[in-house]
Amino acid sequence: MQNYKHGSHTVYDLRYHIVWITKYRYQVMVGDIAVKCRDYIREICKAREVGILSGKVGKDHVHMYVAIPPYLSVSKVVQYIKGKSSRKLLSESKDLQRRYWGQHLWARGYFVSSVGEINDEIIRKYIEGQHEHHGDAEFTIDV
């Protein structure tokens, strides 16, 4: 249980792979803009207690592998990161302001996938073994 995080009444390990793209897939995340983007994302995540396990700023997209506390939803975290980074990057770069005059740097959607070391089979076996431990054979799972 070393990898688990602890809250006042919780023990958790919630990790996600998140990807989002620039609007129109313009390849604008290069040079100083990419560095600033990475720094802003780090800043935003630190403020929200979101752990960055790995990440990459590509020319037209961002990949992140993050650990999110249970009191935050993935959608809120993505909203914070995309919104604040967009606002800061657009306010500091004239090139981005000309390219994205509508104040939207990132495309609307994103991809997310939960990631963990425990797979479906391990969870099923654990739950099936619980009736033996607790003596409750009424609540079983039919696969």
Per DSSP, the residues of 62-93 read EEEEEE--TTS-HHHHHHHHHHHHHHHHHHH-
Select the CATH number that applies to the domain covering 5-117 from these four: 2.60.40.1260, 3.40.980.10, 3.40.50.1820, 3.30.70.1290. Answer: 3.30.70.1290
Output the six-digit token pair for 45: 């995540």
Q: Are 19 and 111 in contact (CB under 8 A)?
A: yes
Would you write out the chain's pLDDT as a tens digit for each of its 143 residues?
A: 467 888 889 999 999 999 999 999 999 999 999 999 999 999 999 999 999 999 999 999 999 999 999 999 999 999 999 999 999 999 999 999 999 988 899 999 999 999 887 777 877 777 667 655 555 555 555 54
Catalytic entry in 26, 40, 110, 126:
126
Task: Confirm whether 126 is a catalytic residue.
Answer: yes
Residue 83 corresponds to which tokens in the numbers above? 């919104």
Distance CA 37, CA 25 (A): 16
Quote the pTM value: 0.83
Could you read off the pLDDT of 49-62 as tens digits, one per residue? 999 999 999 999 99
